[in-house]
Structure 1
Amino acid sequence: MARKRKNRTHLKGGAAQEPTKNGVPKSFIIKHGQVGSSVSQLVRDMRKVLEPNTASRLKERTRNKLKDYLVLAPTLQVTHLLAFTLTPIAPSLRIVRLSDGPTLSFRIERYSLIKDILNTSRRARSVGMEYLSPPLLVLASFPPPSPTTPPHLPLLMKSFQSIFPPLSPNTLSLSSARRVVLISYNSERGTVDFRHYVIKVKPYGVSKRVRRILEGATNSNPNSGVLDLGNEKDVADFLLRKRGDPGPDGGYESAASSTESVAGDDRDAVDLAEDYVGRNNKKGQKRAVRLDEVGPRMELRLVKITEGVPGKEGGVIYHEFGTIFTILFSTRFLPRSTVKKSKKEAAAQTAVHAAKAKLKKERREEQEQNVKRKAASSKTNSKNALVDAPSGDEMDEDENSGDDCLGEWDDDEEISDGDASDVNDDESSEDERPTKKVKFRGK
């Protein structure tokens, strides 16, 4: 029997997208050094968050250096590098904007993996199709730009915005909005909270029991928890049972389940502008939107912002324990443990970085001049070699003259007696040779 050919694909709704454009940011998420199994799993979870615009199957080797990724990234049009490392104090995260920087260094205060979130939640379930489209970024609790705003926060917001694709409401397809990444700023602790949610759309205006009947009646998969009404005498007993009344198994309904059965608030309901992924989610219908957290979850503390990339770092833009902003701006927004730098120290640091940049520029110009000089000298040497080499006509004349000399007789040349005797011996030997008789065949 011939093998059945597969004619359909799994790309439905917002999953079928156009090819990646050049303006979409791409990223490498790696672990650097010995980090352990938990941080390694956190790296894999972060790759799922940034899919499909990240290298989800990237394999690091122990001999790979950070410089290897920095050199390879521009060739693959990678715009960001997220490196996780493990320090004696806590895990750390560096976000590098390629290829000119800046570099943001975070200390991971606390984190939870995807498996931890799913084990503690009754609702959150990830099917896997949500990761075929990029997530939506939501920035919350960041102070608006003002003279009293800490100057490093706008740069922090722009850095997070550059990691995710830009959002265009005019061209965004509703079915492609499947996930949300929430990044909120905690002003009391001075940390940044990272959350990852999946968007769920449910029928609005019906109780949980009616919704379970509707979903169970139209569900064709027998292994997905179809509602069992075999112990009920009538469907009305299931629909009209009040809280506290015993069920068919003798149990009572919990307060949590009764709270979920109440219809949601009008503020939680929206009218679908387009067809959305899921059963009966058609355009114009009223649906309740809910966010289910799937992880990972991180609490980040910004430690340092530097110019450039690792290995080619420039000046320190911000540092938790002493920063240039401490001199230029007010220090009341910084932690109490912040170490202040004097104007003299800040000027000396700026002068050192300026001298390094100047020396680097001079060396680069010198290398370019050396390359040009070597290229010019090689051209002149090749031209001189062509001029010094004899032409083809001259070589032919020399060869012909040599052949003529071989055929001419030199009258001044003397022949010794030994040579004459040799000639006579040759002639006599030729005369003494017997002649060969020629035989004729008769016809």
Structure 2
Amino acid sequence: MRFRQRNSIIIFRTMSKWIQSGPIMTCLLVVCRKSSHVIQQLERISIRILAILLCSLPATDLFAQACTNCSNGEGYWVVSTYAMPQTPGVCPKSFNYRCYFKPVNGPMRPGSMSEMQASLNPTAPTCMFVHGSFVNIDHALNEARFTYSWLRNSNRCNPLNMIFFIWPSDDIDTLLPSLSVVQNGFRADHNGIYLAHLVDCLPATSSICLMGHSHGTRVIASSLHYRGGGAVLNCVKPPCSGGCRTIRAIFAAAAINHEWLTPNEKFGRALSQVRCMLTLVNRKDVALIVYPLVGPSYGRALSTTGTTMFDRRKLGPYANKVQEIDLTFEVGFRHAWAMYYSNPDLGREIACYINRGCGNAGMQVLKDQNHEVYSAAPDDAPADEYHAPIVLPLPDSHRISVEPDELQQDEKSSEDKPTVTALFDLQMEKSLAPPATQK
């Protein structure tokens, strides 16, 4: 009896290997039906056969079947101001943006302002993200890819124009970190002028959502204040450009004083240019808790206090535009932008805020506070490869000239070009070139 059981086991092992390699199903000869070893072997064979059948089925996109009307995002744009003058207080008269396009499936390539204007969907909302301070080119491009994947996965069925505004915030070397923060603050104010003119280049029929993190919120606040007729570093926008636009703002880990948005303050005209503003509050952010120690003009940050009762009294009717979401327990002590784009519930809230407007978007509390943090990895790259390959040299962008009569200050000559331009070219070639294949 034992001899027969051993023979049956050998027979079934041989048949299982033959079934995996052969495309035709054959009949199995059961020598000993009551043997437990034979039953286990039959179960293993059936599982292997089922796996082979499943692997032979054609690959299908289940999401495409469930949502046939979805508009697949074609990609996003990256607009850089590295090649533009970065001297705070010198009012720019011309704007030479450098643009790059990153398709969903493909490497990043150089583009131009005119090409970007032609590619934007005028009926779809446009979201512009501005990074914070101490962010180099590699980090900025990584954040761009993950942020786009985060918003795209949160709402696939609505078209979206996505632009990432990159400004030089990591090339300031000082002995004291507080001085670097102060100088980056002035540079953020200066780049707000560039952002304001970039907004004017977008389709007039497209609603705009300006989303910033850390000092990126200061760039946005400066831009809105500049658009509202306020002075930014003694620079005033000409009254002829701009026009009425539907603009919304999202401030994450806002590194600005909470009172700067009230009238007669540093950015007192910013709220006059937006339909609504969403503030993501985190009262445990360590970087913002020590924010008042930067200098005498720095106070409590907006994202740690939110809009206080005294601020709302000063804002008057503008207080109805300000909405808040408290993410203290979700984000915790961290200040990094990755803590925000790794939250899927927050992504759905922001996607709804971008596409449907103000409404009650900011007043809703996230349902699942103990959310599962996931990695918003881009669809076109493995998890361990974040850099987008790109082939330089940089393009010759479409030049947009603005020569207001009110600006009396002369712009620096082209011979006095800032050194950050060459640094930007070198770092882009180093960071975005395709990695060498390892032998």
TM exceeds 0.5?
no
- Which category describes the TM-score, using the shorter chain as reference length? under 0.3
Higher RCO by CA contacts (8 Å cutoff, separation 6 or greater): 2
Decide which structure has the larger Cα Rg and report it: 1
Q: TM-score, normalised by structure 2?
A: 0.20
